Structure 1
Amino acid sequence: MAGCLSLTLLMGVVMFSVVGLEEHAALIMLGIFGDLGNSNLSGHLVPELGKLEHLQYLELYKNNIQGTIPVELGNLKSLISLDLYDNNISGAIPPSLGKLKSLVFLRLNDNQLTGPIPRELSGISSLKVVDVSKNNLCGTIPTSGPFEHIPLSK
């Protein structure tokens, strides 16, 4: 069963049962790199993820993750890339993501997100790629900060 993963977060410590992903497990345990994209994962994002303070890449794209984005993800001060696209994530984009001042890539497309794009994201000067397409978002798109030069399609 190559590529199978059982992941449990307990009090900020990541515990793994991994087959075929050993090289990634050590890096994730260090809290630096979390690329588990297209890994056939299901479940919810837990608030304890916000305790991985040195995490730089949280890549959980193309899985079957449900539920909401925990506000605690805003505590990941070292995060460079947040890729949660192509899941079944619902609810609002937490304004706390605006605290991720190192964030360069934010991909939340192809989910079931609702509500407005938080204005707090405008304060992330490092943000270069933002994709929130194919959701159920409403309201106005921020036009300042990193959104100032993002091309918009009709």
Structure 2
Amino acid sequence: MRLVLACVGRLKAGAERDLVTRYLDRIRPAGRPLGLNACDMIEIPESAARRADDRMAEEGAALLAALPSGAGLMVLDPRGKSLSSPDFARRIAVERDGGLAALAFVIGGADGLAEAVRARASDLIAYGSATFPHQLVRVMLAEQIYRAVTILAGHPYHRA
């Protein structure tokens, strides 16, 4: 199953991009024996629309258009549920074992995600009630995807 990290906005060169790249690079060798391919990152530009609803709609349409055909979606949303790392890994395994060809993890823009994107999601997940900068959320999500792969592989990286 192909993994995709799809985000609104582009990370500039620096510590956050380096960390995301480090985790995404680790996924390929760890995930291959598990039937999980590389985790590609798709970055779409932020909308320049004046109204928040228009920005969300434009960004949502661009995200959906950029995703692999038929991809499942796990969306970060403050209204979502908090998953433990083992539960997150199990959700990925369920999608993989169900024959899904691609699974996308989606991070919206500053205004949130369009309802069209949220409606397509199999899961809405949240990192608690605190607000985090999008750059850090991207690092945290890349790390959690890598951690999920190591959990599925039985690797000692994850310690409860």
Q: TM-score, normalised by structure 1?
A: 0.27
Q: Looking at secondary structure, tell me which structure has more helix per residue.
A: 2
Q: Looking at secondary structure, tell me which structure has more strand per residue.
A: 1
